[in-house]
Structures are given as structure tokens and as C-alpha cells.
């Protein structure tokens, strides 16, 4: 049996603006998807297990995933058919929450399928093919999600300039104080939110430029493990996201409570206009404060580790 896993990802800062060629700073989280694949002599079979999602949601995703991945692999290898196989996907990553679930599943699935076909692959090839899958799912992706889940760690990404894995880790002094809050799956898709921003993008030039400045400042802040500056940059970056209209009033109210308690929080994906906006990335010198705020909203919270290893062979 072939088993490949890939992590989820978050934008520390730079989502949405990255579509327009601005830099983004991303990192992986210690939530993983694992794809297991083996020959099947009685025809193709697909199954799935997910700790966080309704099985009906998962079941509806899998046929689309297979219909997307197989043509990409066939085209690359110039194949007409692929021998029957059994596919099992198990995941800790919520779908549609801004954690790169589609990129993680695609990367692990592609790597497993190439291994099944006895094709030698490397991370650059998997990243290239995963980006093709992301185009199907999100229409105009930046390439940041797939690059992060494939290469892992801390990633500097700029559309058109490629991925730059950063050699230094996030300081344990900082990473131990990050937490995720799940506000639920947004009604709006990432594609819809990107299109909404695109329709007004000319009005947001100053916001985009300011966000780029903050992303560059965040990089040096992480290198220097400056907690106070980190909090201020996340707050300012979140205000820019609110200005372009991708943060719902519901999510904003949670973020303000965390800020008023001395921390910072931001959306870390496409966001949403109504209620749920997916995952909030939160930071506080005392994580118990964020935990209590999440409880007050009856929301799930996840203590996470940043900078997890990227695509990994688990066979």
C-alpha cells in the first residue's frame, strides 16, 4: 500500500493580495491529510474518513477530486487509462475553512498516484501538478497554497516569482502562542470571494501596497521573535482585510474581543461576507484567553504547531 500525507496551511499574512502579485508569508500547520492507494482488481473504489466533517460533504467532494486529478496525471504521462485502484483519504483538515484542504488532498493524491504508476517524482513536479488541480478548484489561484503544503515549513511566496522556502523556523516563543478558531464553513467559496475583490481591485491599490509593507515587516518580526510587533502587524493586516470586504461582522466581533483582551486575530483564507469565515488565526501571550473567547461563542479551537513538514511519504 502507498501512503502519502500533506499538511494544511495558513496565511500568516498576504491572502487575497497575493493574487495581484504581492508577496505572502505562509506556513504549514500540524493538521494532515493522508492518501492511501493500492491496486484494486474488482474496479475502482473510493472511501474517506475525516475527523472534522460531515460524511455527506466528504462523499460529494471525492468524485470531483478524482475527476480532477486523474486527467492531470494522464495528460502529464500521456496515458489513456490508469489501472484500477482503491483510494482511501483520511483528513484532519476542515474543507473550505482556509487551511488549504484542496491543495493538501491534491498533492498527496497526485504523489500517491504517480507512485502507484511507478513514476519517479520530486517536490517540484508535485507542486506543478497540484497547481493545475488548484486552477480547477479555484479558477485563479496564486499558487501559494500548493507551494506551502508541498514544501512545508515557512514559505515566502510571490506570484510570478515562485516559492522561496525560508531556512529559519518560527521561534518556539511565538509558535506556542498561536491558536486556531473554527468559525465554520463560509457560505461563499474562495473563488466567489476572490471574484468579489477583483471587481473592486482598482479601488484597493493603497490597501494592497500597505499589506505588502506589513508582510515584509512581519518577516523580520518573526526572525527577531518580537511579540509586541507581531501583534500590531496582525491587527493592521486584519484591518486591511476588513476594508476589502472579506471579513463578516460575526468574525469581526470575535476578532475585536481577542484584540481587546491583548491579542490579535485574522482570517486566513478567502473569508466570508455573512457569518462563518472559516479558520481564524489567533495569537495571544496567554492562549487560555483565546480558548475562553472561543468557548464563549461555542466555537471549536485548535492548539496548533506551525512549520510542519510538507509532503511526506508514509509508506
Q: What is the pLDDT of residues 197-232, one digit of tens each?
A: 999 999 999 999 999 999 999 999 998 999 999 999
- What's the CA gap between 266 and 180, in Å, rounded? 10
Give the pLDDT confidence score for residue 57 in this predicted structure.
43
Strand intervals (E) in 141-232: 154-158, 162-166, 178-182
Give the C-alpha separation, 130 to 109, whole Å.
9
Structural domains of the chain ordered from first start: 2-169 (3.30.230.10), 172-303 (3.30.70.890)
Please state whether beta strands 162-166 and 154-158 pair in parallel, antiparallel, or not at all (unpaired). Answer: antiparallel
Judge whether 210 and 204 are in contact, CB under 8 Å: no
Grid cell, residue 297, equals 461563542
CA distance 168 to 192: 35
What angle do the packed helices 249-260 and 287-296 form, to 10 degrees?
Answer: 140
Bridging pattern class, strands 178-182 and 154-158: unpaired
Which residues of the chain are modeled with pLDDT < 70? 42-62
Sheet harboring 264-267: ordered strands across?
Answer: 264-267, 279-283, 178-182, 300-303
Q: Which helix (H) or strand (E) holds 98?
A: none
Cell triple for residue 312? Answer: 511526506
Cα-only R_g, the chain: 19
What is the C-alpha to C-alpha distance for residues 47 and 211, in angstroms, rounded to an integer?
A: 41
* pLDDT value at residue 229: 97
Dist. CA 28–CA 284, nearest whole Å: 19
Please, is 75 exposed, middle or buried when counting C-beta atoms within 10 Å of its C-beta (0-12, 13-18, 19+)? exposed
Question: What is the per-residue pLDDT for 100?
Answer: 87
Least Cα distance to 97 among 158, 22, 181 occurs for: 181
Handedness of CA 104, 312, 32, 71 (dihedral sign): positive
Query: What predicted TM-score, i.e. pTM, was given to this entire model?
Result: 0.86
H helix count then E strand count, the chain: 10, 11
Residue from 40, 101, 26 nearest 65 by CA: 101
SS3 152: strand
Amino acid at each position: 500500500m502507498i501512503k502519502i500525507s500533506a499538511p494544511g496551511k495558513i496565511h500568516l499574512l498576504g491572502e487575497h493580495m497575493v493574487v495581484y502579485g504581492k508577496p505572502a508569508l505562509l506556513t504549514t500547520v500540524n493538521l494532515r491529510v493522508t492518501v492511501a492507494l493500492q491496486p484494486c482488481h474488482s474496479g475502482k473504489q473510493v472511501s474517506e474518513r475525516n475527523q472534522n466533517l460531515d460524511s455527506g460533504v466528504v462523499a460529494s467532494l471525492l468524485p470531483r477530486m478524482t475527476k480532477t486529478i486523474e486527467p492531470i496525471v494522464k495528460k502529464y504521462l500521456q496515458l489513456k487509462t490508469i489501472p484500477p485502484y482503491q483510494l482511501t483519504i483520511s483528513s484532519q483538515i476542515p474543507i473550505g475553512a482556509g487551511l488549504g484542504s484542496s491543495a493538501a488532498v491534491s498533492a498527496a493524491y497526485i504523489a500517491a498516484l504517480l507512485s502507484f504508476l511507478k513514476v519517479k517524482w520530486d517536490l517540484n513536479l508535485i507542486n506543478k501538478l497540484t497547481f493545475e488541480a488548484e486552477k480547477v478548484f479555484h479558477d485563479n489561484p496564486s499558487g501559494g497554497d500548493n507551494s506551502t503544503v508541498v514544501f512545508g515549513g515557512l514559505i515566502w511566496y510571490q506570484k510570478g516569482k515562485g516559492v522561496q522556502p525560508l531556512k529559519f523556523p518560527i521561534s518556539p516563543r511565538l509558535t506556542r502562542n498561536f491558536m486556531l478558531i473554527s468559525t465554520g464553513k463560509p457560505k461563499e467559496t474562495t473563488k466567489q470571494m476572490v471574484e468579489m475583490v477583483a471587481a473592486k481591485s482598482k479601488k484597493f491599490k493603497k490597501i494592497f501596497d500597505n499589506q505588502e509593507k506589513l508582510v515584509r515587516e512581519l518577516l523580520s518580526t518573526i526572525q527577531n521573535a518580537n511579540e509586541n510587533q507581531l501583534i500590531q502587524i496582525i491587527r493592521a493586516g486584519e484591518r486591511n482585510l476588513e476594508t476589502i470586504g472579506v471579513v463578516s461582522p460575526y468574525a469581526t466581533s470575535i476578532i475585536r474581543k481577542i484584540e481587546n483582551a491583548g491579542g490579535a486575530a485574522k482570517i486566513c483564507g478567502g473569508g466570508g461576507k455573512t457569518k462563518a469565515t472559516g479558520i481564524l488565526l489567533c495569537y495571544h501571550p496567554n492562549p487560555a484567553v483565546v480558548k475562553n473567547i472561543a468557548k464563549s461563542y461555542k466555537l471549536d479551537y485548535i492548539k496548533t504547531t506551525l512549520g510542519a513538514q510538507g509532503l511526506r511519504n508514509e509508506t
